[in-house]
């Protein structure tokens, strides 16, 4: 059950973001009660009439005492005043979070008011704005598939972090974590600068004599590029005041680039212009291909916002272990939370097993398996669920026990493992990779920064598998599963090539008696310590 379920949530500032959170929470029945607070009574009354909130007040102190979680959705520079009003009113266990677009200044404000020790604040930034504003523009699905960046501090309370993560995930968002400074630098470049350019382009053109014509005939590029100039002026004033140094740094670089384009135009230097345009096109095309294509070469940019860690080396987290140890679920969950790529290496062996069966090739015939690897056309869906082999969706077929057994038979051949190595290395891309398998930490990514090895008793693993299959309506026998799993363990551990074993520097976690949530929280904590709190 979600930790949010029995909590009451107070939203301070019921505009586009706050209103959309309230609507999403209400329509999903995600928490016990929803309260709202703001200066203007009209949206509050409207929200209550809509059944979106249970109670409202324009007096923050009186309503804050009732809340377990307080989400502050006011302009960045107003957040401090809200903290000041809440100080001394909220209890030690009340979770505070926000939705401001700049995180450094908000964290400073929090620490100035509550002190450096308090760990109840979880800074958050939903990247889901719109040029529309106000409660009336809010909608239930605003956060579906959008990124929410959390910038927890070294002392942020783990439960508070989990509650806020679950809140955004329940609204359909993809939650990433980032160091607060990285967030502000990345957002200065990807969001703040473009807004500044849109505002200034519209201002420039609005003063031209032929303004009416410009706007009347404006289409495509102009309309798209300047759409964000219709955004809320107060919100954007605050963002530039709060994130001044980071935005000025990227603005200076931009002005310099613009200056060199201007010089080239004045000098009639077509070669230079063409080469600058070409380099921009190449950079963007390769960036889109790498991070925002759905596997069919179709651009998905604009639907998601990838995050970039501070490190130059692409970070890898390896999660190895036997089948049923929970590594698949845990790895996918961690990859989703961090916005990292996910490699399900077992799926590659399962795909080869399936391709072999379809081609009538024996799983024991190493020489005939190799050309099959060359020929297989594999595609993974964006959300770690769907897998295609030669244009056919084979996800369900891959998960059967027969496919698992065939996978472990093809996986014993050293040449097969070698042939699949490069494919696995290709998954290592920014902003990071979670790799799950048997030999991720020992052979495929021996230089991974963090290695986990999950185990669980055979009984427990057979039990988990049994429940999974029964839930899918597949008729199985528990004792047969026990025998299959033991045989697969034996084959995986005793083979000469890359046997199943923990890397020397792996952290061992026995999941027999602990839940998925706890392991995910523990591993995220380790990653945070390693990457995000430096």
Applying CB under 6 A, the residues found at the interface with ligand C5P are: 323, 345-346, 349-350, 404, 407-408, 411, 437-439, 488, 492
Tell me phi and psi for residue 380, to 5 degrees: -105, 140
> Least distance (Å) from ligand C5P to the CB of residue 363?
11
DSSP character string of 126-186: E----S--SGGG--TTTTTT-EEEE---TT--HHHHHHHHHHHHHTTPEEEE--HHHHHHH
- Nearest CA to 148 among 187, 121, 104? 187
Pairing of strands 387-389, 124-126: unpaired
> Least distance (Å) from ligand C5P to the CB of residue 432?
18
Closest to ligand C5P by CB, 146 vs 488, is 488
DSSP character string of 488-526: HHHHHHH-SSS-S---TTPEEEE-SSS-HHHHHHHHHHH
Closest to ligand C5P by CB, 119 vs 321, is 321
> Least distance (Å) from ligand C5P to the CB of residue 347?
6
H-helix segments, 292-361: 327-338, 345-359
Closest to ligand C5P by CB, 110 vs 349, is 349
Contact status, residue 101 vs residue 187, Cβ threshold 8 Å: yes
Closest to ligand C5P by CB, 315 vs 323, is 323
Closest to ligand C5P by CB, 129 vs 404, is 404
Distances (CA, A) of 159 to 94, 155, 226, 245, 430: 11, 12, 41, 33, 28
Closest to ligand C5P by CB, 105 vs 408, is 408
> Least distance (Å) from ligand C5P to the CB of residue 304?
26
- Nearest CA to 484 among 404, 375, 410, 399? 404
Burial level of 515, CB count in 10 A (0-12/13-18/19+)?
exposed
> Least distance (Å) from ligand C5P to the CB of residue 350?
5
Closest to ligand C5P by CB, 401 vs 517, is 401
**In which order are the strands placed within the sheet that holds 124-126?**
124-126, 147-150, 174-177
For the chain, the helix, strand and coil percentages under 3-state DSSP, each to the nearest 5: 55, 15, 35
Closest to ligand C5P by CB, 157 vs 492, is 492
Rounded to an integer, what distance in angstroms lies between the CA atom of residue 42 and that of residue 53?
A: 13
Closest to ligand C5P by CB, 26 vs 438, is 438
Rounded to an integer, what distance in angstroms lies between the CA atom of residue 12 and that of residue 122?
A: 15
Distance of CA 368 to the CA centre of its chain: 40
> Least distance (Å) from ligand C5P to the CB of residue 346?
2
> Least distance (Å) from ligand C5P to the CB of residue 521?
23
> Least distance (Å) from ligand C5P to the CB of residue 328?
7
Closest to ligand C5P by CB, 163 vs 398, is 398
| Three-class DSSP category at 257 | helix
Pairing of strands 392-393, 387-389: antiparallel
> Least distance (Å) from ligand C5P to the CB of residue 256?
47
Pairing of strands 147-150, 124-126: antiparallel
Q: What residues pair up with 454 in beta bridges, in sequence order?
A: 509
> Least distance (Å) from ligand C5P to the CB of residue 343?
9
> Least distance (Å) from ligand C5P to the CB of residue 458?
14
Rounded to an integer, what distance in angstroms lies between the CA atom of residue 286 and that of residue 203?
A: 32
Question: Dmax over Cα atoms in the chain, in whole Å?
Answer: 83
> Least distance (Å) from ligand C5P to the CB of residue 345?
4
> Least distance (Å) from ligand C5P to the CB of residue 372?
15
Closest to ligand C5P by CB, 118 vs 458, is 458
Q: Where are the beta strands (DSSP E) in 38-84?
A: 55-57, 69-72
Closest to ligand C5P by CB, 95 vs 412, is 412
Cis amide prior to 431 (ω within 30 degrees): yes
Rounded to an integer, what distance in angstroms lies between the CA atom of residue 108 and that of residue 117?
A: 13
Contact status, residue 417 vs residue 348, Cβ threshold 8 Å: no
Closest to ligand C5P by CB, 71 vs 407, is 407
């Amino acid at each position: 059950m979600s930790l949010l379920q029995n909590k009451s949530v107070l939203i301070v500032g019921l505009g586009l973001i706050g209103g959309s959170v309230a609507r999403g929470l209400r329509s999903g029945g995600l928490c016990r009660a929803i309260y709202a607070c703001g200066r203007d009574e009209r949206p509050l009354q409207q929200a209550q009439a809509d059944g979106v909130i249970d109670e409202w007040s324009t007096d923050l102190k009186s309503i804050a005492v009732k809340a377990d979680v307080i989400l502050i959705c006011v302009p960045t520079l107003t957040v401090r005043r809200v903290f000041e009003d809440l100080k001394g009113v909220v209890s030690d266990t009340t979770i505070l979070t926000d939705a401001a677009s700049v995180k450094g200044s908000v964290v400073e404000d929090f620490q100035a008011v509550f002190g450096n020790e308090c760990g109840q604040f979880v800074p958050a930034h939903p990247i889901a704005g719109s040029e529309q504003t106000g409660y009336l523009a809010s909608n239930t699905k605003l956060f579906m598939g959008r990124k929410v960046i959390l910038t927890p501090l070294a002392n942020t309370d783990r439960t508070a972090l989990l509650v806020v993560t679950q809140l955004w995930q329940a609204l359909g968002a993809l939650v990433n974590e980032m160091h607060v400074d990285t967030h502000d630098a990345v957002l200065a470049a990807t969001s703040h600068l473009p807004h500044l350019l849109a505002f200034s382009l519209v201002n420039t053109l609005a003063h031209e004599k032929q303004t009416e014509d410009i706007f009347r005939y404006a289409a495509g590029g102009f309309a798209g590029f300047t759409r964000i100039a219709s955004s809320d002026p107060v919100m954007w004033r605050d963002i530039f005041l709060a994130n001044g140094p980071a935005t000025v740094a990227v603005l200076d670089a931009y002005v310099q680039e613009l200056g060199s384009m201007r010089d080239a135009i004045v000098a009639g230097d077509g070669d230079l212009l063409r080469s600058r345009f070409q380099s921009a096109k190449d950079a963007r095309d390769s960036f889109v291909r790498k991070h925002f294509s759905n596997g069919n070469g179709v651009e998905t940019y604009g639907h998601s916002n990838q995050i970039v860690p501070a490190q130059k080396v692409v970070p890898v987290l390896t999660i190895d272990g036997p089948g049923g140890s929970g590594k698949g679920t845990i790895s996918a969950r961690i990859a989703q939370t961090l916005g990292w790529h996910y490699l399900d290496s077992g799926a590659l062996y399962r795909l080869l097993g399936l391709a072999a069966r379809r081609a009538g090739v024996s799983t024991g015939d190493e020489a005939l398996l190799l050309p099959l690897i060359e020929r297989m056309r594999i595609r993974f869906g964006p959300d770690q669920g769907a897998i295609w082999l030669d244009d056919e969706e084979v996800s369900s077929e891959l998960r059967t026990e027969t496919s698992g057994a065939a996978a472990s038979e093809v996986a014993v051949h050293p040449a097969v493992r070698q042939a699949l190595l490069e494919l696995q290395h290709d998954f290592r891309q920014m902003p990071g990779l979670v790799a799950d398998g048997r030999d991720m930490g020992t052979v495929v990514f021996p230089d991974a920064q963090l290695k986990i090895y999950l185990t669980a008793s055979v009984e427990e693993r057979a039990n988990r598998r049994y429940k999974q299959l029964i839930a899918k309506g597949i008729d199985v026998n528990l004792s047969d599963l026990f025998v299959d799993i033991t045989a697969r363990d034996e084959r995986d551990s005793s083979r000469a090539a890359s046997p199943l074993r923990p890397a020397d520097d792996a952290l061992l976690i026995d999941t027999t008696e602990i839940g998925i949530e706890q392991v995910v929280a523990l591993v995220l904590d380790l990653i945070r310590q390693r990457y995000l709190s430096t």
